[in-house]
Structure 1
Amino acid sequence: MSELRSKADHTKAIRDLRRLVLVVNTRSRRGRHLYFEALRILRDEGFRPLRTFAVTDPTRLPEIFGEALSLEPDLLVVGGGDGSLSEAVKHVAHRDVALGVLPLGTTNNFARSLGLPLDLGKAIKVFSVGKVADIDLGVAGDRAFANLASFGVSVEVAGTVKPWLKRILGRAAYPLTALTVLPRHQAFRAFITVDGRRHELLTHQLNIANGRYHGGWQIAKDISIDNRRLVAYQLGSGRRLRLLAETLVRATTGRWRSLAGGPFVTGAEMLIETDPPLPADVDGEVRLRTPLTIRTEPNGLRVMVPPDFLDT
């Protein structure tokens, strides 16, 4: 962990010195088309990148982020989907560098949770007029994540959804793929232990959110990515039709209730157990399995956000 400047000093350094490195995953939904546009807008805003990386092989992202950070920029600008940003989070966490987000993916959950504009030009403008904030990280086992850990149907969907379908349909590709997976999916029992209390449920889908969005839709209007709390919730129940109905409602309306009015479990640390044991999708990476402890790490990540972002 490196020693951090004050957020005010860090903001001033970005605005005055404009030392940044640009990394764009050109395999993301819009990255290939908008890489040069992003570079042009950055230069119009007065930024002269120390170096730029147009990534054609996402498996090289860990190596590229290491190389980018060796240049000691004040701002690491990453363009891509939530998978690319999740990889960046692992490298930027606890370091004296801010993460700048270009929302070039399909759902852009992380960008939405930060209140960033989804328009490329407006997102880049945030680097000039916004501020540095410290937000919470989620930690699943020993794996840091920004947005979501999930269990059930979504894990299979993530491995099944076709890249060409995401390019054509955007975030609607996920619920449509879920419709093909759900008929053969088996419900499971989940046990969530928080503050000494054990909650039990039967479901096809369990999510543990650090961020405010999942699948491009708001989970609840009063969730924050910076409130020291995780939010656990199921989609549907043990009944496939109920899960299907809720998925379609969210896909068409994006509406959800507040935490006070929904079936949510909140806490700073959760023990997740399932019967049978299941793999966990942690920000798009499937490596861990239940049982699994998930917790928050307050102020674990430094990011560039709009001026009106509530930084606690």
Structure 2
Amino acid sequence: MRSKADHTAAVREHRRAAVVVNTKSRRGRRHYDEVLRLIRAAGFAPLGVFPVEEPKRLRATLDEALALGPDLLIVGGGDGTLSAAVKQLAHRDVALGVLPLGTTNNFARSLGLPLTRTGAVRIFTEGKVADIDLGLCGDRPFANLASFGVSVEVAGTVKPWLKRALGRAAYPLTALTILPGHHPFRAFITVDGVRHELLTHQLNIANGRFHGGWQIARDISIDNRRLVAYQLGSGKRLRLLVETMNRATTGKWRSLAGGPFVIGREMLIETDPPMAADIDGEVRLRTPLTLTTIPNGVRVMVAQDFVDT
């Protein structure tokens, strides 16, 4: 692996980039030509440009782009697309360039990146290469979040047209339709030998700083070697409803020191009953699960003021 300074210099000097854009999504399809113009106007002559119309081809397409040997892999899409790219780029000497074209853009927000297309492309020429942490749930790396409970059902139920129409608000509104029939569960979180027990409808384990487009707490970092576990509400549906709507309407910021958080580098998650885990949008594993951090797991282009530890 090159030093981050050498990698940054290579991106700026040689402009060796490949571009992958999820054109299956509405925003990806609508802005595809525009982002290519912006990238070329920034001085990049892409080694290859790969529109992805079929999501099942995303992983193979990312491999094709990486085979060209870029210093920078520019990926346009939402959190699901970027999460797939992060997994492909983990521990590689290639930096990820983020084009946020999703609904919530949690990954871009956690990195402090501009959410406009012009601003995002400017990072590729004026920013720097940083190494950030990943989470690991079982054997699956994740960039943003592992979650258990009602959000797993919401992710599989929310309608694409509702996301297009309402953006981030589509998720809490979909949760309102699911919550009346959802049963609370007991969760046990073991960190540093201490076992925490809670009754809830929703448990989240965050690597990044944002969930659903809203900040979890103002002092969470995507690059501090820690995971943060927290519940939304409790075992009471009304409390979950009130807290979810409060976050959706106010974007309330909380400090880790003053909120109901469990923090650690490694966590054992057990639930009663056993539950499916939503890992950055993929529902594959079930509890019990061990979650850990992967320090400096992936390289990304970030703004110069990003605090890289």
Identify which of 161, 164, 188 aligns with 2:161.
Answer: 164
Distance 1:72 1:193 in 2: 42
* Cα distance in 1, alignment partners of residues 285 and 33 from structure 2: 37
* Corresponding position of 1:52: 49
Corresponding residue SS for 1:30: helix
Residues 171-230 of structure 1: per-residue CA shift (max 9 Å, x gap)? 110000000000000000000000000000000000000000000000000000000000
Are 2:291 and 1:294 equivalent residues in the alignment? yes
Q: 1:122-161 to 2 correspondence within 5 Å?
A: 122-161=119-158
Letter in 1 for 2:6: D
User: Residues of 2 paired with 1:68 and 1:19: CA distance?
Assistant: 11
What is the aligned counterpart of 1:64 among 61, 64, 73? 61
- Tell me the SS of whatever aligns to 1:48: coil
Distance in 1, Cα, partners of 2:71 & 2:211 = 29
- What secondary structure does 1:168 align onto? helix
Conservation of the 8 A alpha-carbon contact between 1:29 and 1:105: no
2:103 aligned residue? 106
Whole-Å separation in 2 of the counterparts to 1:117 and 1:90: 22
Query: How far apart are 1:28 and its partner, in Å?
Result: 2.5
3-state SS of paired residue (1:261)? coil
Q: Aligned AA for 1:62?
A: R
Q: Shift in Å at residue 29 of structure 1?
A: 4.3
Which residue, 217, 223, 231 being the options, matches 1:234?
231
Matched, 1:32 2:29: yes
Number of equivalent positions: 309
- TM-score after normalising by structure 2: 0.99
CA distance in 2, matches of 1:271, 1:233: 14
Q: Determine if the alignment matches structure 1 residue 252 to structure 2 residue 249.
A: yes
Question: Does 1:18 pair with 2:15?
Answer: yes
Does residue 191 of structure 1 match 2:188?
A: yes
Q: Amino acid of the residue matched to residue 194 of structure 2?
A: R
Large movers: runs of 4+ above 6 Å: none
* Separation (CA, whole Å) in 1 of partners of 2:26 and 2:216: 23
CA shift at 1:27, angstroms? 2.0
Deviation at 1:26, TM superposition (A): 1.1
Q: C-alpha offsets along residues 31-81 of structure 1, whole Å, 9 cap, x if unaligned? A: 111111000001111011101111111110011011111111000000000
Report the secondary structure of 1:23's partner residue.
Answer: strand
Whether the 8 Å CA contact 1:231–1:264 is kept in 2: the answer is yes
User: What TM-score comes out, normalization by structure 1 length?
Assistant: 0.98
CA distance in 1 between counterparts of 2:69 and 2:147 reads 34
Tell whether the 8 Å contact from 1:29 to 1:81 is kept in structure 2 after alignment: no
**Matched AA of 2:7:** H
Q: How far 1:283 moved relative to its partner?
A: 0.2
Task: Please give the alpha-carbon distance, in whole angstroms, between the structure 2 residues aligned to 1:102 and 1:165.
Answer: 22
- Match of 1:144, SS state, is strand
Where structure 2 has 5 or more consecutive residues not aligned to the other structure, the ranges are none
Conservation of the 8 A alpha-carbon contact between 1:229 and 1:268: yes
CA contact (8 A) 1:29 1:106 kept: no
8 A contact 1:29–1:166 mirrored in 2: no
SS in 2 for 1:116: coil
- What is the distance in 1 between the residues matched to 2:254 and 2:88? 34
**Residues 269-302 of structure 1: CA distance to partner in whole angstroms, max 9, x if unpaired?**
0000000000000000000000000000100110
Alignment RMSD (CA, Å): 0.5
